[in-house]
Amino acid sequence: MDWKQELLKRLDSLAEKLGTTGAYLWQVLVRQGRVEGIADLVTAGLLGIIIFCLYKTIQLFHRKAEAEDTFDDFGWIVGQIIAGISLVLATVFLCVALYNGILEIANPEYYALHEVLQTIAK
């Protein structure tokens, strides 16, 4: 049997079992998709603030090292490497959260359908 036919059969079976609560469940899942999107955008905003603060801190330490001429200090080099790696990781997480947030707000029905299909597949 074709996987599409099997999926439609399972969805029809689920709709029969749920009855009128199926429509309500769908609305709840669509709203949840929007809420997840907003949460991801808030997370992206917080990560943006963290990135900005980390960048400013790196600049501050760079100016301090420049004034004291401690660029050759091992601790300064390790600190810069750790700060740089943290900055890159935070930027990657920011991009992922922003991407997911925009998708979930722009198309919450896809999120709802994805949740239903994951539930059926289990």
User: Binning pLDDT at 50, 70 and 90, where does residue 2 land?
Assistant: low
Give the type of residue at 25: L
The single residue listed with the structure tokens 């200090």 is 73
Q: What is the pLDDT of residue 7?
A: 66
113: containing domain? 24-121
Residue 6: inside a domain, yes or no? no
Q: What is the pLDDT of residue 100?
A: 94
**What is the SS3 assignment for 107?**
coil
Residue 66: inside a domain, yes or no? yes
Q: What is the pLDDT of residue 64?
A: 84
Residue 81: inside a domain, yes or no? yes
Residue 14: inside a domain, yes or no? no
**Calpha distance 60→83 (Å, rounded):** 12
Residue 17: inside a domain, yes or no? no
- Domain total of the chain: 1
Q: How far is CA 80 from CA 56, 64, 85, 90, 122, in A?
A: 13, 13, 9, 15, 46
Helix, strand, coil tally for the chain in percent (to 5): 90, 0, 10
pLDDT in tens, 83-117: 889 999 999 999 999 999 999 999 998 888 888 77
Residue 2: inside a domain, yes or no? no
Residue 11: inside a domain, yes or no? no
pLDDT in tens, 33-75: 999 999 999 999 999 999 999 999 888 888 888 888 776 777 7
Residue 63: inside a domain, yes or no? yes
Question: Is the pTM above the cut of 0.85?
Answer: no
**Calpha distance 31→23 (Å, rounded):** 12
Top-confidence residue, 14 or 118:
118
Q: What is the pLDDT of residue 106?
A: 94
pLDDT in tens, 12-25: 777 777 776 777 77
